[in-house]
A and B are shown apart, each in its own frame.
Chain A
């Protein structure tokens, strides 16, 4: 019964996406209809998918379906286990929000762009994501992976008239194919060893792999999934591609598409390979630390709102990898309970990031929708015309900065606790890395808070800096509902974290043989504990209530003076000058100036000031200011690589002389070599 309903729910949600794809394509001549079909089909698919994943998680055991295809090694095998169920849950929560949001958002496409094609690609993306999370056959997985990359490419380049967009799309598609290539090789290695492409067949042979094979498999899968997740140094496509897409798509790309990398690592490293050597876990941890710190440092320098958010995705992937790396290390070291806590931290952060990053991108989308610019230096004061968007964005900003009592805090707290536990559990000098990683997580959190103070304040507070922001208007109601749903999810997962934790039980049992939720909750279900009797405890619910009570208690204290003298509105202190204008406001560039100076080793900032004056340099007529930071990875790593590839290819060109005789000779030589190879074997 349960298996039947699970299968039915899964099939129905896939069918909803398929119908959505083709129905919206069929109605491309009627944009309003196509928009409604696209959004309602996505919403229906998400609802069904959500129901299925809740069922799958509650059930806990694996359900598999397999239909042979007649092609060797390839079968339509799906496996709906706890891990797949969890990632599907992380998929449907943002998808539900995005589909409601898109009812309003896509209206501006009508008459200008092809809503039908958009709907087709959008549903194709959702369909491929669902299949990536449930595929149990390597080739089915790779096909879904490729469809996902292509659909995402189509959506990233949806505003293709813009050169920047096309360049970003090209970069994205190249990187997506490098990662697909790595995965293909990795799977080829496993298939060669096991003789089958089913994921289930990899598990028994994982222990028989030689050291070299194990290393090669780890490196290939880490590269493949790492590029997709956008870890540093493979991140360069992410801040280019995510901002140029339509905002509802940016939300999905940053919220869930990059998480397929995290899913892949968890699936292959923990499930199929059953653990990786401890150096590999350490590598994951270190890459996570580097991605987190550098991601947020680059985010701080951005004044393009969507690029800033894209860099924060790199940061958060880093935080997730810290938890995942710790889990991999603990697993090898023989601490399954600790590994389970670390895995819960990583997976919880995956879900949380999917929610608040989606929320922030949708908020940025509303701002873009209303002001027509992504440049924060032209925004300001939007909290007055757009109060609901501002509130939702604020909640997202608090959550992503890891501040209590919202959901980001809970998962970061669990990450801290598992890192601290690592110090006691691991022997040798490497254990010093755990608290150091913890301190870098603290740096990341504090810098993220600084960055979101900047993002929120420069966008929404004070006075508008340009005409575009002066006549901004609130987003349509459906867009607000989409954001409101995610805002609620942020609060619910934060305050109700202890009630949500049992969701992870089935997954940790499947991957690590441990159920930890009961250890993680004490104090009548109100208090989150780190699993060990003496380690830390925290309760977001009590913190929230405490804050509320104390704030309410402060109200009558403030009222003492206000009752007698009232509160007046007055001009801002202007040092006696004739009034302040928006030109005197702090800008995003100015806000991050101090950090730019402090981390100048990394940024290598360059600035140029040209002043035009008549009489005295103290009274300039006109000032031109230019400031930029060096894109280190692009310049030091990718530019030389690109140059090298071009150089090699131009050398290769000499063998293409254009003469048919030469080509015939090549074919002949190749044939002889192949024959010789065949004979020798």
Chain B
């Protein structure tokens, strides 16, 4: 019982505190790759702190949906985070929701965020909501196929079960099906977290905005919740990717040593993945909106190939 409690607390703290660190880190890394100095690693914390200590302006046209959306986005992101194994192979809430619940809870957050974007009556909000729902809809089948490939290998959609199986065969990622599924899920990760080449998190040019357009009317603490939620969601998806495919260092028992080692491994893996994301972000240009479906189609085909190759190998 105490183990479960400590595990939950540790994971909650990790989620809430590490998530902004990684969004800050990607910004810094990106700047360095582009030979800029860029903001410090801690900039995201400062942003959230500052936003939380400000007042807010709510559009005259908005209803309670506008105010409900940030809470929903934040709550779904944190709840999903508790279902994904981070440092140990046992996630605190894994019994209460597997990978399907993760995908659908994130969809619930997105549903309300898109409503919040449309609630203002501003064209930007509508534009962002429309694009976000469209891209996520086409990303979904690819994501599910890739996840199914892993789930069918583990015989479970439960993330802890999947991690436990993965730990016992930690070189499984070399199997073609796993590599293809990883590639598919990586593309989906880029689309879902709104990074180049799908969306540009740094842009404020209306023609290219997706996520930023939806949250354009949010300010102060609500914006802080949304940004925090977005960074948690990004962390969760990255965790999902690194821990299902590369389960190195996931501790299966509960001693200070293994947990500490697990933490170090976990942060290291995340850093590597962040580097990969940043590398792609720096070396690619943002795609035109109507080229994005082609990219996601590639992900879908990779997922289908992954599934088919489970027959062969």
Contact = CB atoms under 8 A, between A and B. Distances in A.
Interface in A399-445: 401-404, 409, 413, 416-417, 420, 423-424, 429, 432, 435-436, 438-443, 445
Contacts of B252: none
Contacts of A453: 111, 114-115, 118, 129, 133
Contact of A539 (B96, B118, B130): B96
Contacts of B125: 586
Question: Secondary structure of the A side of the interface?
Answer: helix
A534 B159 CA distance: 11
A590 B130 contact: yes
B199 interface: no
Interface in B113-130: 114-115, 118-127, 129-130
Nearest to B76: A547
Given A435-B307, A554-B74, 6 more contacts: A409-B104, A413-B104, A554-B225, A558-B222, A567-B55, A598-B138
A450 B57 contact: no
A557 B157 contact: no
A591 B126 contact: yes
B96 A538 contact: yes
B75 interface: yes
B157 A438 contact: no
Question: Secondary structure of the B side of the interface?
Answer: helix
Sorted from nearest, which 8 A-B pairs have the closest CB atoms?
A: A586-B126, A565-B55, A536-B157, A462-B121, A457-B118, A450-B133, A550-B75, A446-B137
Contact of B98 (A454, A538, A574): A538
Contacts of B71: 551, 554-555, 558
A564 B54 CA distance: 8
Interface of B: 51-61, 63-65, 70-72, 74-76, 78-79, 82, 93, 95-101, 103-105, 107-108, 110-111, 114-115, 118-127, 129-131, 133-134, 136-145, 148-149, 151-152, 154-158, 161, 216-217, 220-222, 224-225, 289-290, 293, 300, 303-304, 307-308, 311
B155 A535 contact: yes
Contact of A586 (B79, B127, B157): B127
B136 A446 contact: yes
Interface string A567-586: 11111111000001010111
B61 A572 contact: yes
B247 to A, nearest CB: 17
Given A443-B140, A554-B75, A572-B122, A560 B221 contact: yes
B130 A458 contact: no
Contacts of B154: 534
B119 A461 contact: yes
Contacts of B121: 380, 461-463, 572, 580, 582, 584-585
Contacts of B156: 534-536
A665 B289 CA distance: 71
Given A439-B141, A534-B161, A403 B55 contact: no
Nearest to A563: B55
B3 to A, nearest CB: 18
A580 B122 contact: yes
A586 B130 contact: yes
A527 interface: yes
A200 interface: no
Nearest to B56: A567
A562 B55 contact: yes
A537 B151 CA distance: 13
A120 to B, nearest CB: 42
Interface in A471-491: none
By CB atoms of chain A within 10 A, which of B121, B155, B222 has the most? Answer: B121
Interface residues of A, number: 91
B55 A569 contact: no
A549 to B, nearest CB: 8
Nearest to B154: A534
Contacts of B108: 398, 403-404
A539 B83 CA distance: 12
Contacts of A15: none
B305 to A, nearest CB: 11
Contact of A543 (B97, B126, B136): B97
B79 A546 contact: yes
By CB atoms of chain A within 10 A, which of B60, B63, B100, B129 has the most? Answer: B100
Contact of A442 (B96, B143, B155, B157): B143
A593 interface: yes
Contacts of B55: 561-562, 564-568
Contact of A538 (B97, B225, B300): B97
A72 interface: no
A559 B161 CA distance: 39
A561 B70 CA distance: 15
B137 A573 contact: no
A572 B59 contact: yes
B213 to A, nearest CB: 11
Contacts of A535: 155-158
Contacts of A564: 53, 55
Contacts of A592: 130
Contacts of A551: 71-72, 74-75
Given A456-B115, A461-B115, A420 B148 contact: yes
By CB atoms of chain B within 10 A, which of A551, A562, A586 has the most? Answer: A586
B304 A436 contact: yes
A570 B97 contact: no
Contacts of A381: 61
A593 B131 CA distance: 9
A456 B71 CA distance: 19
Nearest to B113: A453
Contacts of B57: 567-570
A447 interface: yes
Contacts of A445: 104, 107, 140
A561 B52 contact: yes
A462 B117 CA distance: 10
A463 B120 CA distance: 8
